Amino acid sequence: MDATLLQAVLKMSFTGSIVILTVLIARAILFKAPKIFSYMLWSVVLFRLLCPVSFFTHISVLQFTGTPYKIAEKNINTKKHPQNTINIQKTVPQIKITNKNNIMPENTVPETAINIFLYCGTIIWLTGIIVITLHNAVPLFCLRRRLLAAVPLNRQVFLSDYITSPFVYGILHPRIYLPSSLSASEQEYIILHEQIHIRRKDYIIKLLAFAALAIHWFNPLVWLAFHLSEKDMEMSCDEAVMKKTGGDIRAEYSISLLKLASGRKNLIKTFAAFGENETGSRIRHIIKYKKPTIAITIMAIIVLIATFVFAGGNPLQEKQNAPADKIVNNKEPEETTKPEEWWQTWEDGNYIHTMDCAFVRGMTENTLITDPLEYISYDDTKRIKELGLDMEYDLLPGYYFNNPDKTTAAWKIDENTEFMFLDWEDKFKNDKNIIGTYSQHPYNVKLTYTKDKEVFRKYLATYKNSQPEMPFFFEVKNGVIKRIMEKYFI
């Protein structure tokens, strides 16, 4: 089970929480404006909760939220070696030799504990999604059975004896269902209300909002946003009804809503239907409703646009932290701290060495025969474009190995060469020449560390024709291999 999905959702949920708080402030400013503006504000929240990427802006609310979000973004992007060497910061774990028998990660929390935590968290998160979906799907199925006996009033409107509130039902072909007890005059207002829902495609918005709620069910701010956005949706429809009819129908319309109030409140409602909720607040809003002035409307438009830009975009600082080949002005981003990654060398504020990538094709007494290749990740957009690769298919597992010429290179090994390989079946765990092991996610494959080249030779022999199918990463200096690292790939 891939825990990276949960990590991505947590990041989106954190971002969404900041945006929700921003929208709540903007919503408070617009308390005198038409509710359609408050309803439209929630679209930026929906975008943030469902879309993992966004545009860049000079002013973003995320600039003022502290370091967690910025650090998460910064760690994704790193500089490349100026001579097309391979940056594998995202694919190689940090390792530090602590004693003769152990290799431990540099962070203080053991990675196995973190993996267990993420694994259990992913299971709980997926279970919550299933529970919420079933809790909604079962009433939807029961409601559908009740509607089988509905009588058509026209092609779009149906009457039923088994419902107490009007609603829109359906996604591809939405229909309006009304209680049979409604009089002809009451039907006019309610039908108009539900037709506005259909014209604005609110049933699609409700479906997307439910999807966001199901994904981020653990976030209380998302529940609050779901509830308030639904309230703004209904009130904006009420305003549209009063505006469309022209006359003062506040009294008659309020009486119709009061009569339809079923008294049953349920936060999780069928996403395809619009139940009549918050009747009291809706009636109070209808009674107090006044046609907005031009000044209020202009102010509402300004607040709406400012919120979209301020809350919908990522800070431009993120873009400046991207790899050099992505920056428009071609200037190297400044680094203020020295990196701790052991596979890189830092000198005079620049990366001067990263590990090379190659297949192992053979091994002699003091030489390794390799087939160098280029490791390309999602961040290598320039190379992806140069090679004409398809992001969806060629980089489906998250990487691509470019090896057009199949030429080989001979690199020397000596008594100081460090060998790190994946002991798939624990065949080397009792070998006296093994310095230490490290359990590597996701299948607890043992990353084994030794300086004995004969142990590494035996490991190569476990592969067919002694040629591993996956590449190794090499730290080579003056033609001599300093370190060999095997990385797990899907």
Is 365 found in the same domain as 307? no
Instruction: Tell me how many helices (H) and strands (E) the chain has.
Output: 13, 19
Please give the structure tokens belonging to residue 145. 């059975």
Q: Which of 312, 339, 372 is the last residue of a domain?
A: 312
Comparing CA positions, the residue from 218, 196, 206, 208 lying closest to residue 269 is 206
Give a yes or no: residue 348 inside a domain. no
Nearest 5°: the CA angle 236, 238, 243 is: 95
Whether residues 60 and 128 share a domain: the answer is yes
- Residue 95 inside a domain? The answer is no
d(CA 195, CA 64): 42
Query: Which amino acid would we find at residue 335?
Result: E
Domain count, the chain: 2
| 223 domain residue, yes or no | yes
- CA angle at 341 for the pair 338 and 346, rounded to the nearest 5°: 45
Nearest-angstrom CA–CA distance, 265 and 263: 6
Q: How many CA atoms lie within 13 A of 482 on its CB side?
A: 12
Return the pLDDT at 335. Answer: 41
pTM of the model: 0.56
**In this structure, are residues 434 and 330 in contact, taking their beta carbons and an 8 Å threshold?**
no
- What count of other Cβ atoms lies within 10 Å of the Cβ of residue 231? 18
**Same structural domain, 380 and 240:** no
Q: Does residue 184 lie within any of the structural domains?
A: yes
pLDDT digits (tens, 9 = 90+) for 5-48: 888 898 899 999 999 999 999 999 998 899 999 999 999 999 99
Same domain membership, residue 163 and residue 19: yes
DSSP codes joined into one string, 297-331: HHHHHHHHHHHHHHHHSEEHHHHHTS-GGG-TT-P
Long-range pairs, 180-184, Cβ under 8 A, ≥24: 180/151, 182/256, 182/260
Same domain, 267 and 182: yes
Is 330 among the domain residues? no
In whole angstroms, give the CA distance from residue 163 to residue 177.
8
Which of 6, 16, 39, 11 has the alpha carbon at shortest distance from 213?
Answer: 16
Q: Round to whole Å and give the CA distance between 405 and 370.
A: 13
The rounded distance, in Å, linking the Cα atoms of 25 and 13 is 18
Exposure of 368 in the CB half-sphere (CA atoms within 13 A): 30
Distance, CA of 304 to CA of 298 (rounded, Å): 10
Last residue of a domain, one of 312, 347, 364: 312
Whether 80 and 204 share a structural domain: yes
pLDDT tens-digit map of 288-298:
888 888 999 99
Neighbouring-strand partners of residue 475: 483
Sheet strands (E) in 380-431: 399-402, 409-412, 418-423
As a whole number of Å, the CA-based R_g of the chain is 30
Q: Do 210 and 284 lie in a common domain? A: yes
Q: Nearest-CA neighbor of 482 among 382, 412, 400, 380?
A: 412
DSSP structure class, residue 94: -
Domain-embedded: residue 337: no
User: Are residues 227 and 373 part of one domain?
Assistant: no
- The pair phi, psi for residue 5, each rounded to 5°, is -65, -45
Phi, psi angles (nearest 5°) of residue 421? -140, 165
**pLDDT computed for residue 473 by the predictor:** 87
Task: Count CA atoms closer than 13 A to 19's CA, side-chain side.
Answer: 30
**Predicted pLDDT of residue 219:** 94
Residue 282 lies in a domain: yes
Task: List the structure tokens of 128.
Answer: 């919550």
Same domain, 409 and 308: no
- Does residue 68 sit in the same domain as residue 170? yes
Give whole-number Cα distances, 174 to 36, 295, 362, in Å: 22, 37, 66
User: Does residue 365 sit in the same domain as residue 425?
Assistant: yes
3-state secondary structure of 224: helix
End-to-end CA distance of the chain: 13
CA–CA distance, 206 with 293 (Å, rounded to integer): 30
For residues 436-466, one letter each, b for 16 or more C-beta atoms within 10 angstroms of the residue's C-beta and e for the rest, the string is bbbebbeeebbbbbbebbebbeebbeeeeee
Shared domain for 377 and 305, answered yes or no, is: no
pLDDT value for 437: 76
pLDDT at 489: 66
Q: What angle do CA 395, 397, 401 make, to 5 degrees?
A: 55
Whole-number Å distance between alpha carbons of 471 and 399:
12
**Tokens 């428009």 found at:** 328
Q: Which segments in the chain show pLDDT lower than 70?
A: 1-3, 65-114, 261-278, 316-354, 392, 396-397, 439-445, 465-467, 489-490
Q: Which pLDDT value is given to residue 228?
A: 93
Domain contains 103: no
Q: Which domain holds residue 44?
A: 4-84+109-312
Place of tokens 């765990």: 429
